[in-house]
Chains A and B, each alone.
Chain A
Amino acid sequence: MQPLIRKALGHHTILISGSLLVIIAIFAILGPLLSPNSFEATNFDNLRAPPSIAGLHLFGTDDLGRDVFVRTMLGIQVTLAVACIASFVSLVIGVLYGAVAGLVGGRVDALMMRFVDTLYALPFIFFVILLMVVFERNFLLIFVAIGAINWLDMARIVRGQTLSLKEREFVEAARLGGVSMPGIIWRHIAPNLIGIVVVYVTLTIPQAILMESFLSFLGLGIQEPRTSLGALVDNGVSHIESASWLLLIPAGLLALILMCFNFLGDGLRDLFDSRSST
């Protein structure tokens, strides 16, 4: 594994996007701790103040006089947390579902994949909205709902990979050699799945971020006074003419984070592709 890490660090795209993400995450965690301002304290004497050093409102204040810097950092925290947990949910469901379908094979596999195909055709985002409407805005539900959507791709990929690994000659050799099924899964299937799973988790995270911010933008996500990047963008749109930083700062950071994840995923795919082809 070590040469792989070294290779990853030598890959410019991975290095740059990865370190940017780490820096953003560190800022998001440390920022609110270091700032004298709180995310929910309103100040009606200082509404919509532009970014300045005064009062350490680095990103200005919003329409209720709250500090935008702290709120943005908090928003990043929430957005990243939602995305990571949602991706984890989709990872667990997708890998389990795909691996079971691929390992069992035959009719079970055909049936399981038929179900996935059916789900693929559903307009999921509308279901999530329906879910949010029906069950009020439950923070936990957001994770589960977003994760529950994104597992389909993962399941398909893991299933395909498992199926082809199962047919590989080294797995047949292991079966002939008397290696047990758990041994085959542990030593032969799982290690050869890791690469592709890592790539797709990296590409699932931005999808989950997008979905969360989409819901928050519609007012169906995180509830005030807590916030997320999507909710901040939503608020920014309302004050687009009077206080453009309320839109531009969270929107820019959202775009930056999404780009970093997309670049990272692309880079990792590159890395694993070139490795599997040599």
Chain B
Amino acid sequence: MLRYTLRRLLGAIPTVLLVIVLAFVLVRAAPGGPFDDERALSPEIEANIARYYNLDEPLPVQFFRYLGGVVQGDLGPSYRYRDSTVSGLIADALPISLRIGGMAMLLAIVAGVGIGIVAALRQNSALDRGVMAFAMLGISVPVFVFAPVFVLLLSVKLQWLPAGWSSTPGLSKYVLPVVSLALPQIAYIARLSRASLIDVLSSDFVRTARAQGLSQASIIRYHALKPAMLPVLSYMGPAIAVVLTGSVVIEEIFGIPGVGQFFVRGAMNRDYTLVLGIVIFYAVLIVLLNLIVDLLYGLIDPRIRNR
């Protein structure tokens, strides 16, 4: 298990490096500088700006300077939000994004797994078919369709829930963003856990357990649940990435001042350092969370643990 952990940790380093190199090169390969579209600047001012942002150094020097900063958690200054650092901007916006993302993941896992298990146990019943049809709808309809439709129905037409963010106090403003963000994941996880549980329940070792007179409840609790949840666990890595992506849209639609909104704004007005910083931050986050998922997997599956 220790070797497995170490191997996984070492394996994550090249991924993170690759992210930084790719993102850095992409941004620097951009045709035109970040300040091109502003009113014409005199050459001295342009040179000053370039010097201020270290843009006058050779590219490799810039890269290692940047990398050095990244290691210390410094993602450089923002091009647009003068006087702000990228790290500062992310730190300010992160709590709210994490709260929404975390709640959505939690909801997705609890509801998805619950629905999946119920559907698997009533396989091919009307309930199962109905739930799975809804799940298909859930994985087919994108977040940015769900969210506005919810707003239209629940906020505009029925006025049950607030549509805005900044003006509303309390928890009710979280409901729509979190549910919209979680819905596709609930659907996906429900399908996944249903298929996986059905698969496990038809395995030979469950047949053995039946032959040993174990009740359905015991079989699920002691034999089937753990193996059935492994595919769900390995989906957690991709799910985290999808939820982060979705949060960009959700924050845009609901006007939530989170990291995603900064990202979209940064992309719109070509705040390269900000966009670069957020990409790197998200990549590291995803790699780290994937690592945790991998290690959990190793903990649960004895065939991996004993390697």
Contact = CB atoms under 8 A, between A and B. Distances in A.
B234 to A, nearest CB: 11
Given A122-B19, A127-B26, A240-B156, A132 B267 contact: yes
A130 B267 CA distance: 7
Interface in B265-279: 267-268, 270, 272, 275-276, 278-279
A233 B18 CA distance: 35
Interface in A200-246: 206, 210, 213-214, 217-220, 230, 233-234, 236-237, 240-241, 244
Contacts of B283: 121-123, 126
Contacts of B253: 237
A218 B149 contact: no
Contacts of B252: 218
B111 interface: no
Interface string B232-253: 0000010001001100110011
B2 interface: no
B112 to A, nearest CB: 17
B124 interface: no
B66 interface: no
B136 interface: yes
Interface string B93-123: 0000000000000000000000000000000
Given A125-B245, A126-B279, A135-B31, A248 B22 contact: no
Contacts of B154: none
Contacts of B27: 130, 134
Interface residues of A, number: 40
Contacts of A217: 142, 144, 249
Contacts of A125: 241, 245
A103 interface: no
B156 A118 contact: no
A131 interface: yes
A121 B287 contact: yes
Interface residues of B, number: 49
Given A132-B267, A237-B253, A259 B279 contact: no
A264 B297 CA distance: 32
A247 interface: yes
Nearest to A256: B140
B136 A263 contact: yes
Contact of B140 (A126, A127, A258): A258
Contacts of A248: 149
Contacts of A130: 23, 26-27, 267, 275-276, 279
Q: Which 6 A-B pairs have the closest CB atoms?
A: A258-B140, A259-B140, A134-B30, A251-B145, A255-B141, A237-B148
Interface of B: 11-12, 14-15, 18-19, 22-23, 26-27, 29-31, 136-137, 139-142, 144-145, 148-149, 151-152, 156, 237, 241, 244-245, 248-249, 252-253, 263-264, 267-268, 270, 272, 275-276, 278-279, 282-283, 286-287, 290
